Amino acid sequence: MTAVSPLLPSQFWSLSIGVYLFLGGLAGGAYVTGAVADFLSVRDPSRREGYLATARWGMVLGVVALAIGGPILLFHLGEPQHVLLFWLFTNFDSWMTIGIWVIVLFMMLSILQALWLGFGADRGFSIPGDVLSSVTEQIDTIADVTRPSESVRRGLNAFGALVGVLLIVYTALLLSASSQVVPMWDATWLPPLFLASGLSMGIAAAVGATTLTKGVTDTGVTMFSVADDVIIVAEMVVIYLLLATLVNGNTTAVETQTYLLTEGNLIFWGGVVAAGLLLPLAISGGLLALEWRYDLHENPRLERLATAGYATKFGFVIFGGLMLRLTIIYAALNMPLFGV
């Protein structure tokens, strides 16, 4: 019997698939964040404008991230024009087929919500100048004509949030089908890891944009940041359980854990754990102490400091999410196949 070691996933997929996994997770998480903010804008009128800003950013970032990530995936797979015939893909036992439908459905819903939230009679997007006035007027008209009642729109938004969650986790479910060969893609822990990381990145992206454009007072930024902290802690727990599974697994699993401690220590321990998890928690703790001690409404200098702090925290979260996806690819050591 001769051991035959096929190409490692990192050799076959390279950087492009890691970037797609990152953008797909960010897109889904941003939409979910936007949907939650849209709901909160009704429940808490005092922060309505801040929540609506986050809702708009969530939808826009969902569109932009997937508009970039989708083609990366399709061109890597080859013959990207086949996606135009997506309705012919009906093998719903395959996560690849499910993924195609999820991507198309997500893009449609996020475009519609961005249109309805950002344009129309009560335009949410502020577009300065008259250069695009004729175009934006046409978009406003389309938004007003197509916009359903608020109850229907929010119902569609809730459904879109579920699709966003699927967008985050379907790639993990697809990868984990190979968990018997690639221990890093553990079927138990990879889906919740992707879910936690995607939601965290989505909060960081959508709320980070609100932070930069609206500031931190009366915008709900602090509340979303605390929610992000809780998700980060959950993500750390899942990572610990994944590492424990690897160290107690077969030879390839132990080699994977060794890789994370040696060759992959910079990207994993430095990029994921330190920069993407621990540092955001530390920054958040300092900001919460600042807001508890001082009233930012009465101190513009401290408000600017808090704004910069939250923006920095969210930036590290997004960076950590990218490093996690690259780790998932580069640490995907596979078991050798055996043949004659």
Q: Which residues pair with 3 in a beta bridge?
A: 338
Looking at residue 323, its pLDDT comes to 95
The answer to whether 305 touches 293, Cβ cutoff 8 Å, is no
The two tokens of residue 231 are 């998700």
**E strands present in the chain:** 2-4, 337-339
pLDDT tens per residue, the chain (340 residues)? 334 344 455 555 567 788 889 999 999 999 999 999 999 998 888 888 899 999 999 999 999 999 998 777 666 555 555 555 555 556 556 556 676 788 889 999 999 999 999 887 766 666 655 455 667 778 888 888 888 888 999 999 999 999 999 999 988 998 888 888 888 899 999 999 999 999 999 999 999 999 999 999 888 999 999 999 999 999 999 999 999 999 998 888 888 888 888 888 899 999 999 999 999 999 999 999 999 998 888 888 999 999 999 999 999 999 999 999 999 988 877 654 444 3
The answer to whether 102 touches 166, Cβ cutoff 8 Å, is yes
The answer to whether 23 touches 68, Cβ cutoff 8 Å, is yes
Which strand (E) or helix (H) includes residue 233?
helix 221-247
**Cα–Cα distance between 58 and 72 in angstroms, integer?**
21
Range of the domain at 139: 2-339
**Backbone φ/ψ region at 186: left (φ over 0), alpha (ψ -120 to 50), beta:** beta
Looking at residue 29, its pLDDT comes to 97
Looking at residue 274, its pLDDT comes to 97
The two tokens of residue 17 are 């698939």
Instruction: Read off the DSSP letter of residue 69.
Output: H
Burial 15-50 (b: 16+ CB within 10 A, else e): eebbbbbbbbbbbbbbbbbbbbbbbbbeeeeebebb
Looking at residue 182, its pLDDT comes to 86
The two tokens of residue 311 are 């923006």
Question: CA torsion angle for 188, 333, 197, 78 (degrees, to 10)?
Answer: -110
Distance of CA 25 to the CA centre of its chain: 3
Number of structural domains found in the chain: 1
Question: 272 vs 157, 275, 325, 327, 330, CA distance in Å?
Answer: 31, 6, 9, 8, 13
Instruction: Read off the DSSP letter of residue 337.
Output: E
Q: What is the pTM of this model?
A: 0.88
- Give the CATH number for residue 234: 1.20.1630.10
